[in-house]
Structure 1
Amino acid sequence: MTRYLSDGVTTFQVETEIIVAASPYQVYAVVSDLARSGEWSVECRGGRWVEGTPGSVGAIFRGDNERGRETVAWAPVIRGPWQTEAEVVEAVPGKVFRWVILDSARRRQESVWSFEVEAVAGGTRLIHHYRLGRLTEGLSKIFSGLSEPDRERFVEEWNAKLAEDVQATVKRVKRVIENG
């Protein structure tokens, strides 16, 4: 079994941070409003809350996503529009907002996104993090059609893509908040 499919080993993990000239509560109010995510996300174009109180633990968000053809172009990933559902698993205003991607039966997968905020001189440190443990339902299908060398290549290239995406996201969040 490969290193990225072993129990307890993370497949994808990226994190970045930026300082935003606003309070932790202001930053949290923006990043916890997933319906606005189209303003800053590379792939999520927005969406809507479909269950629960928006932004609270247990609430479910249906995201509208879109991916271009150039993204890891050789791999059989979804291109164009698609939807995901995510459940909020932690929501502490001024501190952390965390959600997990659900599978087609609405079970939690080990695909976890978060924004963490903390007060620092000059504003707020915004940390954006993504971690994938076991392969999701969709990635399992992709991996089943890849050779071992291509699986390794995919993990390397997808981690690089994710790192670029989270970096772009925090820069866009900063711009949205600081430019009103």
Structure 2
Amino acid sequence: MAEATELIEASTEISASPEKVWSVVSDLRRMGEWSPQCRKMFIRGNPIGVGTTTVNINRRGPLVWPTRAKVVRYEPNQAIAWRVAENHTVWTYEITPKGKGVVLTERREAPGGRVTALSSTLTEALLGGRAGFENELKVGMAESLGKIKRAAEA
């Protein structure tokens, strides 16, 4: 195991109901529309719920790599989360009602501030190092949340 920032997160306010926002974030097949890195999620199992697995195609410039994940939290109109097998991080979208809308938070958690040695080695060798890559993830979260906001408010 290697070091990682334990929590990276970003939030946005959305003028839409929890149900509307949920309909957007829980449709994992649309992840490629929102994420600048995860370009496609192939879902294994229907309907989506705890235990559903995915195969994800990630892209950064000319680099393309697959990951596998398992849904570990599924609370309709509240939260969905999945754990990435290759690095043990957990990605979550959490919906919190606020006024006439919601706050949508996206987070990446590295439990105990650790990722796999393989993930760390590849991040250092191919993705510009941990600090730069984690900053890129934070910027990407803001981009994803902006796209989800536009879709939910449309």
TM beyond 0.5: yes
C-alpha offsets along residues 105-154 of structure 1, whole Å, 9 cap, x if unaligned? Answer: xxxx43110000011113111000012232235424337869xxxxxx82
The counterpart of 1:134, out of the listed 99, 103, 114, is: 114
Say if 2:81 is the partner of 1:98: yes
SS at match of 2:88: strand
CA contact (8 A) 1:39 1:176 kept: no
Say if 2:31 is the partner of 1:37: yes
Partner Cα separation in structure 2 for residue 59 and residue 21 of structure 1: 29
Q: How do 1:61-100 and structure 2 match up within 5 A?
A: 61-68=54-61, 79=63, 81-100=64-83
Higher helix share goes to which structure? Answer: 2
The alpha-carbon distance between structure 1 residues 166 and 134, as it changes in their structure 2 partners (threshold 3 A), is same
Partner Cα separation in structure 1 for residue 36 and residue 125 of structure 2: 26
Cα deviation, residue 42, structure 1 = 0.7
Q: Give RMSD over aligned pairs.
A: 2.4
TM-score computed with the length of structure 1 as normaliser:
0.74
Q: Which amino acid aligns with 1:88?
A: V
Deviation >4 Å, runs of 4+: 143-146
SS at match of 2:74: strand
Cα deviation, residue 20, structure 1 = 1.1
Partner Cα separation in structure 1 for residue 122 and residue 140 of structure 2: 20
SS at match of 2:150: helix
| Corresponding residue for residue 154 of structure 1 | 129
Q: Which amino acid aligns with 1:177?
A: A
SS at match of 1:172: helix
CA contact (8 A) 1:115 1:128 kept: yes
Q: Which has the larger radius of gyration?
A: 1
SS at match of 2:114: coil
Q: How do 1:3-18 and structure 2 match up within 5 A?
A: 5=2, 10-18=4-12
Q: Which amino acid aligns with 2:78?
A: K
Cα deviation, residue 55, structure 1 = 2.3
The counterpart of 2:53, out of the listed 56, 60, 63, is: 60
| Corresponding residue for residue 163 of structure 1 | 138
Cα deviation, residue 82, structure 1 = 2.2
| Corresponding residue for residue 114 of structure 1 | 92
TM-score computed with the length of structure 2 as normaliser:
0.85
SS at match of 1:90: strand
Percent of pairs identical after alignment?
Answer: 30
The alpha-carbon distance between structure 1 residues 54 and 134, as it changes in their structure 2 partners (threshold 3 A), is farther
Cα deviation, residue 49, structure 1 = 0.9
Partner Cα separation in structure 2 for residue 142 and residue 41 of structure 1: 20
